[in-house]
């Protein structure tokens, strides 16, 4: 009888885990020449909470590329897990693009999998504010109108796949007679743990359907992990 109780409790806990949410919060803020990107990921009712911070974006030139400083923090324990300085060069971008092409080629209908996965993502907060100014008032007005068009077109496409559960807050403010560009963006979304697990299993199945799919994915992922370490 006690084993039945234990089995029942384990099944109940498993159901709670499967229907729990994996939440992600992405915030980006640009003021003057300062950029700050913050990514929070939490799961299992907040028992797992990781934070990725990129406080430094510095363009070094065409040859040296973009310098990034990243920090990974265990938000629950409140301590730094690791930090890195990375340089993104044109050659690294080309190599990454080539690797992505290989991954897509070695996955059966990846785009179908991606669309199906995004259909389970729910966005419950979306804020995107931009301030732009050029040295000429007419050019500023044109740039404001262009940004509005780009924002609405982009969001109209993205939210064809992602469930939007809130009214997005969009803003484009002109800053006349000054050369400035500032932006603030906050996105909060979640997916059920069960759907994330299902998506991972389906991705693995699609990879195994393609010849040398698993070998290619494993090689590229492990190589990228070593470079990031």
Distance CA 110, CA 25 (A): 25
Q: Who wins on pLDDT, 150 or 177?
A: 150
- Given a contact cutoff of 8 angstroms between Cβ atoms, the answer to whether 22 and 190 are in contact is yes
- pLDDT above 70: residue 64: no
- Given a contact cutoff of 8 angstroms between Cβ atoms, the answer to whether 39 and 26 are in contact is yes
Domain boundaries, the chain: 23-88
Nearest alpha-carbon partner for 181 in 130, 141, 127: 130
Q: What is the pLDDT of residues 119-168, one digit of tens each?
A: 899 999 999 998 888 877 888 888 888 888 888 898 888 888 998 888 88
Q: What is the pLDDT of residue 185?
A: 92
Q: Who wins on pLDDT, 142 or 187?
A: 187
Distance CA 108, CA 177 (A): 53
Distance of alpha carbon 225 from the chain centroid: 17
- pLDDT above 90: residue 189: yes
In the structure encoding, which two tokens stand for residue 144, read together?
């404001």
Beta strands in 75-144 (DSSP E): 79-88, 122-133
> Using 50, 70 and 90 to split pLDDT, how confident is the model at 72?
low
DSSP of 205-222: HHHHHSTTHHHHHHHHHH
Mean per-residue pLDDT for 176-194? Answer: 88
Distance CA 118, CA 190 (A): 11
Q: What is the pLDDT of residues 22-45, one digit of tens each?
A: 999 999 888 776 777 888 898 888
Which strand (E) or helix (H) includes residue 96?
helix 90-105
Q: Who wins on pLDDT, 33 or 116?
A: 116
Pairing status of strand 180-192 against strand 163-164: unpaired
Q: What is the pLDDT of residues 75-109, one digit of tens each?
A: 555 555 555 666 666 777 788 888 888 888 889 88
């Amino acid at each position: 009888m006690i084993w039945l109780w234990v089995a029942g409790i384990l099944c109940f806990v498993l159901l709670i885990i499967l229907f729990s949410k994996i939440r992600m919060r992405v915030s980006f803020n640009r003021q003057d020449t300062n950029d700050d990107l913050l990514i929070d990921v939490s799961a299992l009712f907040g028992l797992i909470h990781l934070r990725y911070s990129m406080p430094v974006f510095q363009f070094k030139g065409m040859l040296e590329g973009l310098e990034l400083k990243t920090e990974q923090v265990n938000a629950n324990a409140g301590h730094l897990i690791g930090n890195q300085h990375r340089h993104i060069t044109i050659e690294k971008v080309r190599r990454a693009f080539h690797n992505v092409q290989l991954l897509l080629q070695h996955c059966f209908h990846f785009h179908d999998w991606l669309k199906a996965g995004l259909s389970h993502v729910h966005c419950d907060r979306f804020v995107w504010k931009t301030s732009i100014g050029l040295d000429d008032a007419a050019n500023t007005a044109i740039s404001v109108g262009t940004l509005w068009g780009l924002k609405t077109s982009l969001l109209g496409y993205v939210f064809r796949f992602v469930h939007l559960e809130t009214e997005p807050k969009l803003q484009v403010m002109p800053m006349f007679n000054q050369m400035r560009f500032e932006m603030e963006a906050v996105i909060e979304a979640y997916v059920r743990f069960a759907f994330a697990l299902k998506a991972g299993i389906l991705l693995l199945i699609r990879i195994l359907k393609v010849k040398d799919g698993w070998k290619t994915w494993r090689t590229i992922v492990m190589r990228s992990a070593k470079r990031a370490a």
